[in-house]
Chains A and B, each alone.
Chain A
Amino acid sequence: NAGVTQTPKFQVLKTGQSMTLQCAQDMNHEYMSWYRQDPGMGLRLIHYSVGAGITDQGEVPNGYNVSRSTTEDFPLRLLSAAPSQTSVYFCASSYSGTRSTGELFFGEGSRLTVL
């Protein structure tokens, strides 16, 4: 199984540029989420979705948009990149409801640098 696939793995942007980080999972998970990982701060939740057509904000949503048009895909959009968004981004998914075990399955991460 491919699991959770993120693209691109590395990206360099200039301030003000826009881009989309892609995330796809093939495990038929209802729940998908985006985290950012920064030194000394652990992982912080940006946005999450409990199913197609449903999204909600996490701890640090400002500057990011998401959509969930299918169960498999959960893209993260940066509309106008800022240096403060330099980070490593992780997509994670899991079952929810009665099938939930609490375990999140993570992608390999996308390292973004904003100059």
Chain B
Amino acid sequence: GNSVTQMEGPVTLSEEAFLTINCTYTATGYPSLFWYVQYPGEGLQLLLKATKADDKGSNKGFEATYRKETTSFHLEKGSVQVSDSAVYFCAQAGGGNKLTFGTGTQLKVEL
């Protein structure tokens, strides 16, 4: 079945460091892919998405490119801030509006 695999956390970085969170998926066809972010004590909110191969989603300095050759959708940011500390979830669209989520990666950014 469809699944999403993301790198284990927590990831701890210093402010202004480069961030990569790996995400790979298994699916039949080419599903839409998403990154959601969960700040402490809050629900998930959409960070970015890509709907077809080679699309690049971007928002708030974060980027991810839909790579069908490697079935990946890695999240990157050039310079993280303390305010980016959160849990990041990779997800793929299933049938209808259903999403399949990865296990989440906690990011801690320190001064």
Binding site for B on A (CB under 8 A): 4, 31, 33, 35, 40-45, 48, 50, 58, 90, 92, 94, 96, 100, 102-104, 106-109
Is residue B49 contacting chain A, with contact meaning CB distance below 8 A? yes
Query: A48, A90, A94, A102 — which one has the most chain B CB atoms within 10 A of its CB?
Result: A102
Cβ-defined contact, B98 with A43, below 8 A? no
Contact B103 A90, beta carbon cutoff 8 Å: no
**Between-chain CB contacts (< 8 Å), 22 pairs:** A31-B97, A41-B103, A42-B4, A42-B102, A43-B44, A43-B101, A44-B101, A45-B99, A48-B96, A50-B96, A90-B43, A90-B44, A92-B43, A96-B96, A102-B32, A102-B93, A102-B97, A103-B34, A103-B49, A104-B44, A108-B43, A109-B42
User: A53 to nearest B CB, angstroms?
Assistant: 16
In angstroms, Cα B96 to Cα A50, docked, is: 9
Name the one of A50, A102, A103, A109 contacting B43, with C-beta atoms under 8 angstroms: A109
B4 CB to nearest A CB, Å: 8
Interface, chain B (partner A; CB < 8 A): 4, 32, 34, 36, 41-46, 49, 51, 89, 93, 96-99, 101-104
In the bound assembly, the distance between CA atoms of A82 and B4 in angstroms comes to 28
**Contact, CB under 8 Å: B96 / A106:** no
CB distance from A107 to the nearest CB of B (A): 5
- Residues in A neighbouring B32, C-beta threshold 8 A: 102
Question: Measured between C-beta atoms, what is the minimum distance from A72 to chain B in Å?
Answer: 17
Complex: chain A residue closest to B89, CB-CB? A42
A42 x B97 contact (CB < 8 A): no
Contact across chains for B101 and A108 when beta carbons are under 8 A apart: no
Asked if A96 meets B98 with Cβ closer than 8 Å, knowing A102-B32, A102-B34, the reply is no
Task: Name the residue of chain B whose CB is nearest to the CB of A30.
Answer: B97
Known: A33-B98, A43-B89. A106 touches B103 (CB 8 A): no
The 5 closest A-B pairs by CB, nearest first: A106-B43, A42-B103, A31-B97, A43-B101, A42-B101
